[in-house]
Amino acid sequence: FPYKNVLVKIGIVFVVSGLLFSSSNLIRSQLFPVQSISQKATFTADEGASSVSERSSFWNQAWVLSVQKPLLGWGPYSFRFVQPRLQNAVLATSDHPHNFFLKMASERGWIAAILLLVIITVILVKSIIGGLNDKSMFIVLGIAGLMAHSLIDYNLQFVSVSLMFWVMLSLLVPEIKWGKMPKLNNKIVRFIEVGLATILLIVAITEARGILLSSVGRHLEAAGEGERALVWYDYAMPQIFSRDMHLSCAKILYELKRYTEAKSAVEDYMEENAEDFRGYKLLGDTLRSDLDAKGALDAYEKAYDLGGKYNDFGIMRAKVKLMMAAGQWNDVKDMRSQVTEDLEKFVDAIEHNTHFIALSPNAEEVIALANMYVNTLPNREKPLYEVLAARADHHSQVEREKIKGRAPGYLW
């Protein structure tokens, strides 16, 4: 095996990659501030939290979730919805656990994760043992690099990356000497191949219609044309994978004060995804507006437990406000220590701008709840909440002024 030649080529790849990266950053730094490479390498960039500790939490949480449903997992792309219940820090959530195999185990089950690991390992190992030519060597290096990176991150959700990964892996298969293979019936093989391709094509075409129609609705919703958006969302139904469409319908109906329809839309959403705290929060808002205080409090409690605690402070504010309005002062008093603890955590996150929380509506929610206590508590107990509100207001304004003061970028 030509180890020296391989090492030289690997070195050349690293040098060229480093030069390209450094030169692009150097050009950008002439016009705009550039993030320190050392900060990115040590996961201490300006998001205000260490990605090292958060990745460790994600891996542990993915493991816990995979053990809870080891055979089939929680479902494709479910991590973002089921992980928040295990959160232990403000906005410490993610669409994926930053590890390819833990993602597969938690979302598709351990059978799928192990099978995937075996397929990739067998192809790579047999390719290396059988001898590498120039083409296959670079393919193996590319796949190995992507897999190494996928142990601490996940980029295969991007079609461009995923497509190249599977194409490169398939290019290695014909180069491998598999030995004597069992002879298969070509007619059966072709029938299965064509059948699977046809089914996938039908699903893709059917879903494409819904995606296109609902995307028109989303653009209209973003433009503030709720009534027209509802029409297009109605055109888009039914969909096999409706994503957030029912939730979007519920938000529009709630804003239009059509509470019965909004409640029905939320329930439709939760039939497909009962793990999303956003659905329960919107249900709580709808029931509160429909004068169902008990139902609203139950919905807010569910939203809080499913992940709202560390992601949406508006849930706690709405719950406390509803209790105060209903005259449930004993309940307000009993939960005050928990509210204060949450307030302090969110204010600390705003002060450090953790995951840019100072730019989010959470800042206003924190200030509003702190001021609610200032307006209802005795004078001797007000200072703590006055200080918390002032800290949140000051640091959120500072961070927002920083954003306003930035020059616009041209490329990235």
Q: What is the pLDDT of residue 185?
A: 84
* pLDDT digits 0-9 by tens, 182-235: 788 888 989 999 999 999 999 999 889 999 999 999 999 999 999 999 999 999
* pLDDT on residue 136: 82
For tokens 């307006």, name the residue.
Answer: 375
Tell me: pLDDT of 412 over 50.
no
Average pLDDT on 285-305 reads 94
Determine the pLDDT at residue 130.
76
Hey, is 91 helix, strand or coil?
coil
Mean pLDDT of 250-257: 94
Q: For the ranges 15-19, 198-202, 388-392, which has the lowest average pLDDT?
A: 15-19
The more confidently predicted of residues 27 and 61 is 61
Kindly report, residue by residue over 365-378, the tens digit of the pLDDT: 999 999 999 999 99
pLDDT of residue 40: 58
**Which distant-in-sequence residues (6+ apart) come within 8 Å of 73 by Cβ?**
65, 66, 104, 105, 106, 107, 108, 109, 112
| CA separation for the pair 380, 29 (Å, rounded) | 52
User: Range with the lowest mean pLDDT among 135-149, 245-259, 276-290?
Assistant: 135-149
pLDDT for residue 51 is more than 70? no
| CA 142 to chain CA mean position, Å | 26
Task: Scan for tokens 């030995």, then name that residue.
Answer: 179
pLDDT digits (tens, 9 = 90+) for 97-140: 999 999 999 999 999 999 999 999 999 888 888 777 777 888 88
Residues 28-49 have pLDDT tens digits of 777 666 666 666 555 555 555 5
Indicate the SS3 state at residue 308. Answer: helix
Give the per-residue pLDDT at 365.
96
Q: How far apart are CA 92 and CA 311, in angstroms?
A: 8
pLDDT of 410 above 60: no
For residue 44, the model assigns a pLDDT of: 52
Mean pLDDT estimate for the chain: 88
Q: Above 50 in pLDDT, residue 169?
A: yes
Q: Which of 68, 70, 13, 55 is nearest to 151 (CA)?
A: 55
CA–CA–CA angle 38, 44, 48 (5° rounding): 145
For 93-102, how does the pLDDT look when each residue is reduced to its tens digit (9 = 90+)?
Answer: 999 999 999 9
